[in-house]
Chain A
Amino acid sequence: MKNFWLTFFEGLVEVKMKGIGAERFINRLCKEGVAVFQFKKLDKEISTYQIRLSNIRSLRKIARGQAFKFSFTRRKGMPFFLNKLMKNKGLVIGIPFFIAIVFVLSNIVWSIKIDGASIETEQKIRKQLKLMDVRIGKFSFNEGDPKAIQKRLTDEIPNITWIGVQSRGAVYHLRVVEKLIPKKEIDKSYPMLVSTKKAYIVQTMIETGQILVVKKQLVEKGQPLVDGYIGSGENPKYVGAKGIVLGETWYQTTSEVPLKTTFQKLTGNTKTKHQLKLFNITIPIWGFGHSKFKEKTIERVQTDFHFWKWKIPLSIVKVQYNEAVTTIRILTQEEGMELAKENAYKDLLLSIPPDAKVLKRNLLQKKISSDKVMVMMHYEVIEDIAAGSGDEDEYPISDSDEIE
């Protein structure tokens, strides 16, 4: 049997008919191709049935000259529903307007939360975000890619190790891990200062405590340098060890440089495409055709749209093709050596404290083969080798005073 749910869209009219011989009239309707639904006999004379809205004309034609009385008692279906709706214009305009407003508001940055950063860093981050045009009240899909924000923030702000950017609808949530810059231990006193590494003592600058080493002495790692107690015997006085011990230490770094390197260089020519992505279908909206670049790198930035707090399966994808040129860099052995030394020095600077001084650098070993240069460098560095040992709180000065 055919389905008649489509009649809902066409519209149905209920007819109430008064007169004898309704069956014959229905048969006539059928012959004319008018489908009749819900035919009911209320009593001998009165019957009701429904016909399609578009069939009213045929009904009128057939009814002409017949002794029936007609009345239309009900109207249902889409056309009538729409008619009713049009009477409530406010609703018709209001609902899409409301949806549009929610959609717009859902894609605006409402707040930026920053966790784990000190006040200064937070201010720096907020300043940087402002420069990047990420601020409250802006559309998040302009500069909204969290990954891009993440990258730029880590690049621009020096004292953060890691930053996680999450956009949850209208809220940006930034979690920050700051680089731990150790506090200057010089202001703190310890029960004992010990050596952090094997070194020659160069200079001692001690504020309090008893020095246990002399200049030019070779100390091993962990060897005590300054004692927090002064006076020997059974009742030493605790004053706390505090100060700097400069020692000469040694570092070795190895660095290898290939003489022939291939790498991709971007020429600066780009082609950008914008696509609308709905579920898994991508529709290009700007930038057509294929890029003619022989070699290229592809950058893809996807911005999602939100409705309320949900991500809707609609997003804008920006695809950027960057033309690249593969270049081969060939170094002579001398250039290779220079570069390797430079790299080794850079490596060293990363591993020593920032206030350390590099005294001397020596080439320990070099290996030159047909395709690479390897150097092993030896550095003499002067740095503070003293480190506190034992917890200060365990030996509070006032307590030791009482002991005395």
Chain B
Amino acid sequence: MSKKNNWLKRAKQVFASSFDLPQDVVLDLPRITMIGQIHIYIENHKGILTFSNEELRLALKQGYLLIKGVNFVLKTILPEEILLEGTIHQVTFVEEDKN
């Protein structure tokens, strides 16, 4: 990641915190809501990478989100939001450069 991008990111963070704005709006971050183990609701994603019964990879602005569990069903898929149902065991943020 370039130095310029880092600088921009920091500027946005400062902007968000000083004006008391929700960080996800300004920084284009995903907003994730979980209901126990059974539901996970992700807004602001960038598309599905892979999906199977046990795993969902969701593209984010940087890296991807890895959700593992069993009996996965994608209840709703809309351009910016997604609702996953099943038994969720783990949610991991994976940085892209590592892969």
Contacts and interface: CB of A to CB of B under 8 A. Distances in A.
Interface in B37-51: 41, 47-51
A37 interface: yes
B75 A22 contact: no
Interface string B70-85: 0011111111010100
Contact of A37 (B53, B72, B75): B75
Contact of A30 (B52, B53, B72, B78): B78
Contact of B49 (A23, A38, A39): A23
Nearest to A37: B76
Contacts of B76: 4, 35-37
Contact of A35 (B48, B50, B78): B78
Nearest to B50: A23
Name the residue among A1, A29, A33, A49 with the largest chain B CB count within 10 angstroms: A1
Interface in A81-97: none
Contacts of A4: 76
B49 to A, nearest CB: 6
A188 interface: no
A31 B76 CA distance: 14
A22 B77 contact: no
B53 A23 contact: no
A41 interface: yes
Interface in A29-80: 29-31, 33, 35-41, 44, 49
Given A1-B81, A33-B79, A41-B53, A27 B47 contact: yes
A213 interface: no
Given A23-B47, A41-B53, A49-B77, 6 more contacts: A23-B50, A26-B51, A29-B77, A35-B76, A38-B74, A41-B52
Contacts of B79: 30-31, 33
Contacts of B47: 23, 27, 30
Contacts of A33: 79
Interface string B52-94: 1100000000000000000011111111010100000000000
12 contacts: A4-B76, A22-B51, A26-B51, A27-B48, A30-B77, A35-B76, A37-B76, A37-B77, A38-B75, A41-B51, A41-B52, A49-B74
B66 to A, nearest CB: 14
A39 B51 CA distance: 9
A41 B74 CA distance: 9
Interface residues of B, number: 18
B48 A26 contact: yes
A36 B77 contact: yes
Given A1-B41, A1-B83, A39 B50 contact: no
Interface string A7-32: 00000000000000011001101110
Nearest to A47: B51
B38 to A, nearest CB: 15
Name the residue among B47, B53, B76 with the largest chain A CB count within 10 angstroms: B76
Given A26-B48, A27-B47, A30-B47, A39 B53 contact: no
A116 B73 CA distance: 74
Contacts of A49: 74, 77
A38 B50 CA distance: 16
Contacts of B81: 1
Interface string B8-41: 0000000000000000000000000000000001
A41 B41 CA distance: 19
B77 A26 contact: yes
Contacts of A39: 51, 73-74, 77
B74 A36 contact: yes
5 closest cross-chain pairs (CB), A and B: A39-B74, A36-B77, A27-B47, A23-B48, A30-B79
